Amino acid sequence: MEKFVIRGGRELHGTVKVSGSKNASLPILFASILSGRLELTNVPDLRDVSTTCTILEFMGFSVERSADRVKVVEKEVIPEAPYELVRTMRASILALGPLLARFGRAKVSLPGGCAIGLRPVDLHLKGLSKMGAEIEISHGYIIAKVNGRLKGADITLDFPTVGGTENLLMAAVLAEGRTVIRNAAKEPEIVDLAKALKSAGAHIEGEGTDVIVVEGRRELSPISYSVMPDRIEAGTFLSAVATAGGEITVEDFPVETLKTVIDKFREAGLEIEEISPSKVRVRKKGRLTGTDITTQPYPGFPTDMQAQFMAAMCTAEGISVIKETIFENRFMHVLELQRMGADLKIEGNTVVVKGVERLTGAKVTATDLRASASLVVAGLGAENTTEVYRIYHLDRGYERLEEKLKALGADIERVPSELSY
Ligand code: UD1
């Protein structure tokens, strides 16, 4: 086990490049099940990417990784994703649609409970059933099969689920006839998945809007694609300047995909200049002002930035009201931030933040991916030393975060943890 030791209070200066997106890489890697072959670049070196590669290998694909490149080639496929692998990464459910579409059957462990809420997959299953799949849940597994090919269907999602939209989109690409996905999620990572599928000849229209139309094909050619950069990593660097101060340039990411977050940080008083469509300069001049956010599906404020934004508001002047509407239990960072002196009050799905002058370093424990990022962000601006335990959560989704922060002048180190849990 490892932990971060952060000596806070150093301003950040310099330029940081954003890595490839985790949430785009995972579905595109699972899309290799549809095409049998894939070559992907700009893939970040993350634990979730390794888990996905291990699942593909288990299922009978050969996977080669070097630097930011991943090559997948189909061998003898067993369409099964076991509990031991799925339990560490909920996104494993994304194997279901592609397996069914390509092999007519699939056995995928139910993802199970998750620290940030119940996160059911009922909408994925409902959509696949509408496409002709017979689905049963048995001994913790989703067992699905279809007679012949999946059939195109008109599906209206009850909620614009990101993973559900991705699963159904992938299934539709090899289904017979036309599939319409209504109330689809509009996240940029879904657009990226659609682009990757199109690189292999898929017929998709409307990605990025709430109606996606897919004309199914019998087969795809190999996927060859470069993953989009990670907008949430970019946003996390904005939060870091919001707490630590300084002036940095964040580059190599599509600025328009982070508009809502940029606008909220501007409202709070952070200076953000859009130098180009892929580059911003961020500067903190004085204390920020408390600002309210409500998480929403894209293009609303992303739930994946809620914890980091809250960390920034802990020392802003006045009150901030932070409302989480996507996940029912995504406030685990609150207790930890309180240990650093933050004045936070949870009221249902809302946290009221009363800005304090400064946070003070403490020992804190990471509970999930974005919560860990928020503790690092808080630690960078806090007085004295902050130690963040269980950073394996952070390694699921951030590539070399401490190295990137160090290069910007932060005093942060990864050291062995004295705790074994
Ligand atoms: C994806 C992202 C995650 C992000 C989230 C919301 C990946 C790998 N993960 O997760 O980082 O926080 O989008 O932007 O891309 N729901 C149902 N039934 C379903 C599916 C979802 O009720 O069948 C609910 C969930 O419980 C949750 C909400 O819908 O409350 C959003 O979930 P969803 O959009 O599916 O998130 P993920 O795809 O799991």
Chain segment 278-306, per-residue pLDDT in tens: 999 999 999 999 999 999 999 999 999 99
Answer whether 2-19+229-416 and 22-226 agree in fold.
yes
- Give the model's pLDDT for residue 259: 98
413 and 5 Cβ atoms separated by less than 8 Å:
yes
Locate tokens 């086990």: which residue?
A: 1
- Give the model's pLDDT for residue 88: 84
Q: Is 53 a catalytic site residue?
A: no
330 touches ligand 1 (CB under 6 Å): no
Q: Which atom of ligand 1 is nearest to the CA of 159?
A: 29
- Whether the per-residue pLDDT at 374 is higher than 90: the answer is yes
C-alpha dist (Å) from residue 39 to 68, 73, 165, 173, 420:
11, 9, 23, 19, 38
Residue 91 Cα to ligand 1 middle (Å): 9
Q: CA 288, CA 266: separation in Å to the nearest integer?
A: 9
- Whether the per-residue pLDDT at 147 is higher than 70: the answer is yes
- Whether the per-residue pLDDT at 113 is higher than 60: the answer is no
49 touches ligand 1 (CB under 6 Å): no
- Give the model's pLDDT for residue 198: 98
Residue 119 Cα to ligand 1 middle (Å): 7
163 touches ligand 1 (CB under 6 Å): yes
Q: Which atom of ligand 1 is nearest to the CA of 48?
A: 8
pLDDT band at 377, cuts 50/70/90?
Answer: very high
Q: Which atom of ligand 1 is nearest to the CA of 90?
A: 39
Average pLDDT for residues 264-290, to the nearest whole number?
98
162 touches ligand 1 (CB under 6 Å): yes
Residue 106 makes CB contacts below 8 A (sequence gap 6+) with 79, 80, 81, 95, 96, 99, 100, 142, 143, 144, 145
pTM of the model: 0.96
User: Which helix (H) or strand (E) is 105 found in, with range?
Assistant: strand 105-109
In this predicted model, what pLDDT tens digit does every residue of 10-41 receive, in sequence order?
999 999 999 999 999 999 999 999 999 999 99
Q: CA 285, CA 292: separation in Å to the nearest integer?
A: 20
- Whether the per-residue pLDDT at 350 is higher than 60: the answer is yes
Listing DSSP states for 217-269 in one string gives -S----EEEEPPB-HHHHHHHHHHHHHH-EEEEEESS-GGGGHHHHHHHHHTT
pLDDT, mean over the chain: 96
Locate tokens 């990471």: which residue?
A: 366
Residue whose Cα lies nearest atom 1 of ligand 1: it is: 162
- Give the model's pLDDT for residue 328: 84
Task: Just give the CATH number of 22-226.
Answer: 3.65.10.10
Which of 76-85, 117-126, 134-143, 317-326 shows the highest mean pLDDT?
A: 317-326
User: Which helix (H) or strand (E) is 181 found in, with range?
Assistant: strand 178-182
- Whether the per-residue pLDDT at 118 is higher than 60: the answer is no
Residue 136 Cα to ligand 1 middle (Å): 22
- Whether the per-residue pLDDT at 140 is higher than 90: the answer is no
Phi–psi pair at 62, nearest 5 degrees? -95, 135
Architecture of the domain delimited by 2-19+229-416 = Alpha-beta prism (3.65)
327 touches ligand 1 (CB under 6 Å): yes
Average pLDDT for residues 228-247, to the nearest whole number?
98
Residue whose Cα lies nearest atom 12 of ligand 1: it is: 304
304 touches ligand 1 (CB under 6 Å): yes
28 touches ligand 1 (CB under 6 Å): no
pLDDT band at 419, cuts 50/70/90?
Answer: confident
- Give the model's pLDDT for residue 270: 98
Q: What are the extents of the domains in the chain?
A: 2-19+229-416, 22-226
Question: Percent of the chain beyond pLDDT 90?
Answer: 92
Q: Which atom of ligand 1 is nearest to the CA of 117?
A: 26
